[in-house]
Amino acid sequence: MKKKIALITGGYSGEAVISYKSAITIENNVDKDKWDCYKIDINPNGWFYMGTEKAIVDKNDFSITLDGKKIVFDAVLVGLHGTPGEDGKLQGYFDCLNIPYTSCNAATSALTFNKRYTVAVAAFAGIDVAKSIHLFKKITVTPAAILKEIQLPVFVKPNNGGSSIGMSKVNKAEDLQVALDKAFKEDEQVLVEEFIKGREFTIGVFKSKGEVIALPITEVISKKEFFDFEAKYEGASEEITPAKIPSEITNRIQDAAKKAYTVFNCNGVVRIDFILNEANEKPYMLEINTVPGQSEASIVPQQVKAMGWSLKEFYSALIEECFI
């Protein structure tokens, strides 16, 4: 009998719109000869099966009942960006129910959802990262105090955000407070990070049959000042896969990405952002996305195709990892 796979999508954050797009690509490319795939929408109004027949998910055991028949799942395919599918919450729930899933585990998901904790652990492992300061809403720190520690220009980011929402690049000291206020509107924690000058790359990494595999690298060329929401989702950027870079640089970025995947004990496919610091030609890691975008136009599907794999083979490889 075919194994039953729940493809989860939606979520409780602004990234839900992206989740629905990712889930369409994933659902279209799950090998139906191998797996029975059920799309489950997890949204603030409830958890629902999205088939021709609608059903409410029983949270006691993550089951659904269709035509009077109870269906329990053998594994969960995670296509949900932001909370609760990318920050470890659902991973902890599935752990309690003993249902395997395609993403990183609860601890890694929670850790990497926090940008500052991510760069802190990466730095400890010898991966290059930008110098940064971690701020908390309840403890006021003045722009002057921040600029004593790190140098302009800086990036101000909500620490747990995604999709560049609430983020600013600050070139002048007098603009720092406005940027802090904007970021604190999105999050209780904010990261202020030194700007790394150089070309930007992003790279998918996944595991298949126990081997950590780096996908071809994508160069991101933003038409905006940085890879912001518009650049990401409204076409104001160019993405070149595979990136046109010397093989030595390719190796350097792929090695750093595989090292990060291993150090963070990742599972499934993740996408890691880097800036190649033009001062020393070393890749500086910005963040790890543990549930990267998977719409047809997204970077990971482009990289999978550039590697010469079909998306069908790719999603089968991710699902099969749940059962080894």
Binding region for Mg ion (CB under 5 A): 273
Q: Which residues, 6 or more positions from 136, have their beta carbon under 8 angstroms from its beta carbon?
A: 188, 189
Judged by CB under 6 A, the chain residues 279 through 298 that form the site for ligand ADP are: 286-287
Distance CA 247, CA 238 (A): 21
- Which listed residue (127, 146, 167, 243) binds ligand ADP by CB under 6 A? 167
239 binds, among ligand ADP, Mg ion, none (CB under 5 to 8 A by kind): none
Chain centroid to CA 178: how far?
A: 27
The nearer residue to ligand ADP, 286 or 322, going by C-beta atoms, is 286
Check residue 272 for interaction with ligand ADP (CB under 6 A): no
How buried is 197 (Cβ within 10 angstroms: 0-12 exposed, 13-18 middle, 19+ buried)? exposed
Interface segment toward ligand ADP; rule CB under 6 A; list 74-82, 175-183, 193-201, 300-308: 193-201
In the bound complex, what is the minimum distance in angstroms from residue 131's beta carbon to ligand ADP?
A: 9
How buried is 89 (Cβ within 10 angstroms: 0-12 exposed, 13-18 middle, 19+ buried)? middle
Check residue 193 for interaction with ligand ADP (CB under 6 A): yes
The nearer residue to ligand ADP, 56 or 221, going by C-beta atoms, is 221
Q: Which residues, 6 or more positions from 172, have their beta carbon under 8 angstroms from its beta carbon?
A: 152
In the bound complex, what is the minimum distance in angstroms from residue 306's beta carbon to ligand ADP?
A: 20
In the bound complex, what is the minimum distance in angstroms from residue 56's beta carbon to ligand ADP?
A: 32
Tokens of 186: 């999105």
The nearer residue to Mg ion, 110 or 220, going by C-beta atoms, is 220
In the bound complex, what is the minimum distance in angstroms from residue 258's beta carbon to ligand ADP?
A: 19
Check residue 162 for interaction with ligand ADP (CB under 6 A): yes
Tokens of 9: 């999508």
In the bound complex, what is the minimum distance in angstroms from residue 99's beta carbon to ligand ADP?
A: 28
**Which residue minimizes CB distance to ligand ADP?**
227
Distance CA 99, CA 115 (A): 27
226 binds, among Mg ion, ligand ADP, none (CB under 5 to 8 A by kind): ligand ADP
Q: What residues are paired with 205 via a beta bridge? A: 214, 270
Helix axes 115-124, 247-263, angle to 10 degrees: 110
User: In this structure, is the dihedral angle defined by the CA atoms of residues 248, 254, 258 and 260, taken in order, positive or negative?
Assistant: positive
- The residue among 269, 275, 180 whose CA lies nearest residue 222 is 275
In the bound complex, what is the minimum distance in angstroms from residue 198's beta carbon to ligand ADP?
A: 8
Check residue 117 for interaction with ligand ADP (CB under 6 A): no
The nearer residue to ligand ADP, 20 or 284, going by C-beta atoms, is 284
Q: What are phi and psi of 21, to 5 degrees?
A: -70, -45
- Which listed residue (15, 27, 187, 273) binds ligand ADP by CB under 6 A? 273
Distance CA 105, CA 198 (A): 32
Distance CA 40, CA 6 (A): 6
Contact residues for ligand ADP, defined by CB under 6 A: 115, 130, 155, 157, 161-164, 167, 193, 195-196, 200, 226-227, 273, 275, 286-287
